[in-house]
Structure 1
Amino acid sequence: MPTIRRLTALEILDSRGRPTVQATCELSDGTVGTASVPSGASTGTAEALELRDGDPRRYGGLGCRKAVAHIHQELHQALSGRPFETQQELDQAMVALDGTPNKARLGANALLAVSLAFARATAHHRGVPLYEQFATILAQTDGGQAPASFRLPRPTINLFSGGKHAGGQVPIQDVLVVPARARTMDEALSTTYAVYQAAADLCRRKYQMRALTADEGGLAPPFPHAQAMLEDAVAAIRAAGFVPGQEVALAIDVASTHFFQDGRYHLGEEPHDSLAQIQVVRQWVEAYPIVSVEDALAEDDWEHWPELRRQLGERVLTLGDDLLCTNPARIQRAIELGAANALLLKVNQIGTLSEAAQAFVLARRAGWQVTVSARSGETEDNWLADLAVGWGGDQIKVGSITQSERLAKYNRLLAIEVAAGFPLVAWPG
């Protein structure tokens, strides 16, 4: 394996017009890999720290020049010329160099950019697709195993948005389309297109508004309440000619942490406690064709997550995002408590590929499903599609079927499907 010759970086803009980091890793044989990292809006408190400049005169303090400088200087000086036989060796060296529990000194955005750029450079050096390099990383991680055969993750695709991804017109964050019967990625996307266009037409007729979109491309009309999002989603599925719950199902991202205050959930007109919140979500699941529920409770409401999991049962994914933060320690706690049965995996929540792979392995060993997820602030880089294929993710959550930073991932999955002929993962059960 060649050594790292040079690490460079650039401050670029994400899909919300905010700065993020792009890194380039050049190996000693001349092989080059470049990668860009995303940034979240709906972030958990346990996430690794994105390093921002804090200068209010520039991008409102959100600049990333410090993170870029760390790649050009300290990370380049510490890593160049050293032999790294595996991704784990590189990532461990960066974590040790940072020396903080949440990557606060050098920045998780700097470390992840280098981690990804090294992985892509290594794939180029080996002459293999990036998803094969990701599979190798997984196989090298804590006894993990690469998928026996590659598959394409089933997409869960934003239809309607509220919360922090839109104007906060309703508290819950997203209602997503699950093309449950689609047999190929091409069919999944064409099915979703039909539902999305039906929903856009519904927005014009019912809310007298154009198809204005939220951070991840979801439609965001002025819903009067959360239940209206679900009712309109079912109406759009029917208008597109599909049977709700059979051909097309729904997933919801409740993002409860953002409306949890003083021990109460401020979801409707009257705030309520955790047990009442569980009952609200259970009623939704019983009334609508919902197959996945993300963050139905707040990130630190650990006491009640096991009851949520019990109430939702086996036919619905109890999906943890803010609860778990792709953090192995939090995932292990959730496994022991029986708090979830699915992980939303976001690599930038933990800060390096190797640590994210550890989180994936833990979830898999517990028998969990894994949804590989993008962030609200994305770039046109498509490495996430390869990651979901290489690690054998069950689902992929990228956003809607609009906006180039979302389509880059879907188009990469289409290209892999055509080139390799991999099948689409079936929905569990």
Structure 2
Amino acid sequence: MESGGRRLRRLQGPREEAAAYYRGHRVPQRLEEALNALFPQRPADIYGELANYLSKFSKAPVICKLVGRKVLDGVGQPTLEVEIYCRVKNYEKRICSTVMSSHSQIPENALPETTEADEKERNDSVNTAVEWVNESLNTMLRDLKPTEQCKVDKMLGEYFTKKVEEKKETQKQEEAAEAILALTSCTPSATALPGKKKAAKPGKKVAVAERTIPPAEPAESVLCGSLAIGGTSLAVAKAGATISRIPLYLHIALLKGNQDSPKEITLPLPMVTLLNCEKFSPAKLKLVKEVMLIPPVQLSLKQGIERVLDIQKEMMRLLEPPGKAPSPQLADSKKGRAHNTGKKAPVKGKYEILTGTFKSPDEMVDMYVELINKFPFIIALIDPLRKEDRQQWNNICCNLGSNCYLIAEDAATYLSKLKTDQDINLPTCSGVVLKYINQTKVSDLVELTGLLDGQRHITILGSPDGESSDDSLVDLAVGLGARFIKLGGLSRGERVTKYNRLLAIEEELAKNRTLREAHLEFIAFAEESQPEKQLSDVIPPPKQDSLPPQRSQPALQVRSLSAPPPENSTLT
């Protein structure tokens, strides 16, 4: 039998030399020589370096388990948490978790029975999502690498499509059963003779025909359990970043840039809610839903946030009655439910901008033009008009596009379909607010923001009503290159966590010298002869003088809350 010394001399290469350490420690002196040869820099923790060296030859981590559970969001409503476990060096290890935000649709003025039914539906949806994650998705994604985001998202998309088809088939069967039941149980009833109409009474005035106001589009249906798709996709993205040992925002940027690392990254400008003009605020208006401040681009994010915070505190002091402590809910615009959009206006086809004051869609455009000309520090309007008033969207963009951003948030519904159908009914606008909810996948956001970038539309990442303390939204906004991020007011833990994450990313980018200075560039829209213009239409490049003047104070952004026209229309 050969001695330990002779065996070590016969070893060839650094891997065999290092392997001597794991053969009984029979040659400690020769082992030290071998390690010194392997690591000529002689680190202080030479055995730690040996472990790191050998780890290069281990298999890449793969997903071994998904865990879904029901948790509570920032307003105490149930939502979904997804955990990712990977097999790392033959050990099962928890890598990360993510909590999905949910976009609640429960009106604040809803009847108790309606609220109870909606809450039950939400609870059932979360329970279904937990079941999907723990069963089907857990089996489907096992042994996949968390860095294979596109492959994972493709499988998630196919799974969701299958569930949609199953739901449609179930609905068809239920409708057929109901139709058969109706035919077997129907009884003859008196019906009005066709072609007979009541004659108008003598002397009664005939109403003058008014311009037809298109009705509001129905809300996009949400499949029960769809949270599982978005939650799993985001959890896999976080796991991929953790495995790659890079921040999530850089991992997202690499996905968008096809693995080309960006030399510089621009931080999104925060839209900070200053006033929430709802029933919770002492400053209640009809026209305006929220007033937000956007820090000047020449300030650092930290300086901008500090300035906005000072303005917010002063505004709270001015608006509160004498002798009353400032309310922390002044800029609190998220209550976990859809905000009341007001009752129908008594005048057909008009917006109620103040109590008893109505304006037609054409008058609304003139009013906004006058407002922006009078207050040039207003640099963005979100949902200034109903989505269905497409001619007025086109007019306001042509009149104000070179001076102000015209953003569609609630007016830009069906964004989940934009990736596959670019001819969906979207108004002319400068950009849209994207929200990571329901079946949205990381790959969808990457593709959609790339589409918007190519058409010179700005992207804004916004937080849904049902927020959580998960700060992944900030990394998504940074990695996707969003122009703005809309998080709400500087209050409540789940929002402040996101603002703190944004500040931490700024500090990290500045330290690495990869922070690019932000800028504002408006879009000059050409006059359109057609009343309708799709988001996918090509927009001419902005004028050279379209950059706004330098501002020493935070710019204003106003969100409209004009009361909707009647005839089953709602302000979206």
Q: Which residue of 2 aligns with 1:418?
A: 507
**C-alpha deviation, 1:60, in angstroms:** 5.2
Aligned to 2:31: none
Unaligned runs of 5+ in 2: 1-59, 107-113, 166-219, 522-546, 548-572
Label 1:94 to 1:181 Cα distance change in 2 as closer, same or farther (>3 A). Answer: closer
Q: 1:399-410 to 2 correspondence within 5 Å?
A: 399-410=488-499
Are the structure 2 counterparts of residues 369 and 106 from structure 1 closer, same or farther at C-alpha, using a change threshold of 3 Å? same
Quote the offset at 1:182 in angstroms: 4.6
Whether the aligned pair in 2 keeps the contact of 1:291 and 1:317 (CA below 8 Å) is yes
* Aligned mates of 2:77, 2:334 — CA distance in 1: 21
Aligned to 1:124: 242
C-alpha contact 2:282 2:320 (8 A) present in aligned 1: no
Alignment check: 8 A CA contact 1:153 1:396 kept? yes
For 1:66, give the aligned amino acid.
T
Q: Judging changes above 3 Å, is the alpha-carbon distance between structure 1 residues 128 and 403 closer, same or farther for their aligned structure 2 residues?
A: same
Is 1:19 aligned to residue 86 of structure 2?
no
TM-score where L is the length of structure 1: 0.78
SS at match of 1:81: coil
The one of 286, 304, 320 aligned to 2:373: 286
Give the secondary structure class of the aligned counterpart of 2:437: helix
Matched, 1:297 2:357: no
Distance change >3 Å, CA 10–CA 343, structure 1 → 2: same
Rounded to whole Å, the distance in 2 between the matches of 1:286 and 1:256 is 30
CA contact (8 A) 1:211 1:219 kept: no
Determine the C-alpha separation between the residues in 2 that align with 1:72 and 1:127: 27
C-alpha separation between the residues in 2 aligned to 1:377 and 1:59? 13
Partner of 2:277: 162
Shift of 1:88: 2.0
Instruction: Determine whether 1:39 maps to 2:102.
Output: yes
Show CA shifts across 1:142-179 (max 9, x none): xx987541121111100011359879943432110111
The aligned residue for residue 224 of structure 1 is none
Q: 1:80 to 1:71 in 2, by over 3 A?
A: same
Amino acid at match of 1:162: C
CA gap 1:397/1:267 in 2 versus in 1, 3 angstroms:
same
Structure 2 counterpart of 1:204, one-letter code: E
Normalization by structure 2: what TM-score?
Answer: 0.59
Match of 1:365 among 419, 434, 454: 454
- Helix, strand or coil for the counterpart of 1:20? strand
Q: Answer whether contact 1:212 1:219 (CA < 8 A) is retained.
A: no
Q: Give 1:183 deviation, angstroms.
A: 1.9
Deviation at 1:308, TM superposition (A): 2.1
Query: Structure 1's 136 and 98: CA in aligned 2 closer, same or farther, altered over 3 A?
Result: same
CA contact (8 A) 2:269 2:485 kept: yes
Deviations 1:52-92 (A, max 9, x none): xx994995543222222221122212222345763222112
Which letter maps to 2:304?
Answer: A
* Kept in 2: contact 1:184–1:423 (CA 8 A): no
Q: How does 1:241-280 map to 2 (within 5 A)?
A: 263-268=349-354, 269-280=356-367
Following superposition of structure 1 onto structure 2, how do residues 40-59 of structure 1 map, counting pairs within 5 Å? 40-41=103-104, 56=116
- Aligned-residue sequence identity (percent) comes to 20
Q: Which moved more, 1:339-348 or 1:405-414?
A: 339-348
Instruction: Report what 2:140 is aligned to.
Output: 78
Separation of aligned partners in 2, 1:187 and 1:117: 32
Structure number with greater Rg is: 2
- Tell which deviates more after alignment, 112-121 or 168-177: 168-177
Tell me the alpha carbon deviations over residues 97-148 of structure 1, each in whole angstroms, 9 at most, x when there is no partner. 12239784453322111111000001011111111111122224xxx98754
CA shift in 2, pair 1:197/1:87, >3 Å: same
Alignment of 1:140-219 (within 5 A): 140=258, 147-163=262-278, 169-171=284-286, 172-205=288-321, 210-213=326-329, 217=332
The residue number in structure 2 matching 1:48 is none
Q: Distance in 2 between matches of 1:368 and 1:145?
A: 23
Task: Identify the match of residue 397 of structure 1 among 478, 481, 486.
Answer: 486
Structure 1 stretch displaced more, 152-161 or 177-186: 177-186
Letter in 2 for 1:112: G
Q: Which amino acid aligns with 2:239?
A: A
Cα distance per residue 1:271-317 (max 9 Å; x no partner): 44322222333333223321011111223333432122112221201
Bigger shift: 110-119 or 169-178? 169-178
Change beyond 3 A, Cα 1:273–1:381: same
- Matched with 2:16 is none
* Match status 1:379 vs 2:452: no
Matched with 2:169 is none
Determine the structure 1 residue equivalent to 2:62: 3
CA distance in 2, matches of 1:183, 1:21: 37
Match of 2:520 in 1: 427
2:100·2:468 contact (CA, 8 Å) conserved in 1? yes
Q: Is the 8 A contact 1:309 1:338 kept in 2?
A: no
Q: Distance in 1 between matches of 2:427 and 2:270?
A: 26
State how far apart, in whole Å, the 1-side matches of 2:303 and 2:349 are.
44
Contact conserved, 2:387 with 2:426, CA < 8 A, in 1? no
1:305-339 deviation line (CA, Å, top 9, x unaligned): 212211222120111112324446289448x9880
Decide whether the 8 Å contact of 2:73 with 2:466 is kept in 1: yes
Where in structure 1 are there 5+ consecutive unaligned residues? 44-53, 221-254
Q: Is the Cα contact below 8 Å between 1:38 and 1:348 reproduced in 2?
A: yes
Contact in 2 for aligned 1:360/1:370 (Cα 8 Å): yes
Alpha-carbon distance in structure 2 between the residues aligned to 1:351 and 1:362: 16
Q: Aligned to 1:156, what secondary structure does the other structure show? A: strand
Q: Which amino acid aligns with 1:275?
A: D
Contact 1:98 1:106 in 2 (8 A): no
- What is the total number of aligned residue pairs between the two structures? 381
SS of the aligned residue for 1:380 comes to coil
* C-alpha distance 256-65 of structure 1, shift in aligned 2 (>3 A): closer
* Residue identity matched to 1:340: C
Q: 1:349 to 1:187 in 2, by over 3 A?
A: farther
- Give the drift of 1:21: 1.3
